[in-house]
Structure 1
């Protein structure tokens, strides 16, 4: 089960993957970008508003991101994890994540690690669509109406 903070988080990640051409022809998302973007574009505590300007066509500027503004300790750990998953440029230990992150951000970190390890098809990032029984019933009634 993919965990997104909310629908805006999901849309931010999908939009950026598409914009950066990080969805391959077979539909799989680039797992380096996906894992980093999944963290950096989180809407929890508006992390996405603080980080998105450091994401461009050339990559992600983690050093500039951290030096340009002050982040709470937990967000610094998440950014370092994103950098590590993206290109190994920063270090963060599991104990730092365990001791610093609240439950929701810890789940965010675990999901990002999972994305980096296994990858993901873009269809798995989309919300599940449920069948609407009323529409199916209407179609059957309509067919009966036009049968002669």
Structure 2
């Protein structure tokens, strides 16, 4: 009995779940002060920021154009998702600046804002794209778990 490979939509949800977990881990950093906390926040945020930026860059540059060709009716949803990527990227830059300035409480506030934005963004993306992605049978120029892979 062979195990079926998850569809592209299921892979997208798994990538989103991993990102949700990474943001939650960053938000749960201990509330102690000092260099240890700053280093911990820097490590969490670097992981989240780099991966999330890569994930969205590959969606914008590879996945969304492919989906627009597959299903032109997705154009309005894809445009909204691109706009949301800009908002998330702005928050990531704010988080990065606050981490560099060693402002842990403000970092947590921004991480809370990031989590809220991502929850809404991922829910919308999953609502609009999972079924279409799971229906794809050929190669897809994108891997949600490996954002550094560009076509």
Flag whether TM exceeds 0.5 (same fold).
Answer: no
Give the structure, 1 or 2, with the largest relative contact order (CA under 8 Å, sep 6 or more).
2
Higher strand share: 1
TM-score (norm 1): 0.29
For the pair shown, which has the larger CA radius of gyration, 1 or 2? 1
- Greater share of residues in helix: 2
